């Protein structure tokens, strides 16, 4: 084997090594993306579960959170503040889902069920007066738009 043939052989071996490394890296990135996506989805479920556990551990808070927009006027001022804090916590989870979707950590088809869930939640629990009192908690225009559409009972699904 001549020097030129050896050089070409080693260049070919080097090229195969680079291609193999790129394929390995692509597979690792795909696997890592799937893990991060799964963690993001679990984080959303865990946040809702934690809010529910806190809420249902306190009978008064349970009573308050069962309120709908039709009965919110019946709450005392302190109950209304607790109710608003509950809404803030729940809507923050929706904001987190939107952010994960925008970052590409959760695909739109997966997060669409969260949009439906939260649109229904907002339609049942938030009215304009309450929203005006708590909306300062969020700066994300997409969340504001989704909440407004949910209060108007218009579609908020991304699909």
Confirm whether 24 is domain-assigned.
no
CA angle 93, 49, 90 (to 5 degrees): 30
Confirm whether 32 is domain-assigned.
no
Q: How far apart are CA 74 and CA 94, in angstroms?
A: 27
In sequence order, which ranges of the chain are alpha helices (DSSP H)?
A: 3-56, 59-65, 77-102, 108-125, 128-134, 141-151
**For the chain, how many structural domains are there in total?**
1
Q: CB–CB of 79/71 below 8 Å?
A: no
Confirm whether 77 is domain-assigned.
yes
pLDDT by position in tens, the chain (length 159): 788 888 888 888 888 888 888 888 877 777 776 666 667 777 888 888 898 888 889 998 888 888 888 888 889 999 999 999 999 999 999 998 888 888 887 877 878 888 999 999 999 999 999 999 999 999 889 999 999 999 987 544 443
Confirm whether 13 is domain-assigned.
no
């Amino acid at each position: 084997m001549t020097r030129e043939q050896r050089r070409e052989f080693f260049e070919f071996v080097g090229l195969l090594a680079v291609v193999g490394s790129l394929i390995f890296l692509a597979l690792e990135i795909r696997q890592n993306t799937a893990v991060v996506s799964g963690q993001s989805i679990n984080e959303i479920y865990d946040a809702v579960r934690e809010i529910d556990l806190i809420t249902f551990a306190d009978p008064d808070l349970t009573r308050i959170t069962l309120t709908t927009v039709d009965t919110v006027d019946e709450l005392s001022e302190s109950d209304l503040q607790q109710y608003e804090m509950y809404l803030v916590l729940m809507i923050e989870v929706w904001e987190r889902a939107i952010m994960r979707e925008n970052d590409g950590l959760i695909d739109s088809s997966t997060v669409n069920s969260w949009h439906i869930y939260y649109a229904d939640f907002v339609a049942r629990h938030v009215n304009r007066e309450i929203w005006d009192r708590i909306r300062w908690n969020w700066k994300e225009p997409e969340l504001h738009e989704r909440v407004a559409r949910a209060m108007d009972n218009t579609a908020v699904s991304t699909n």
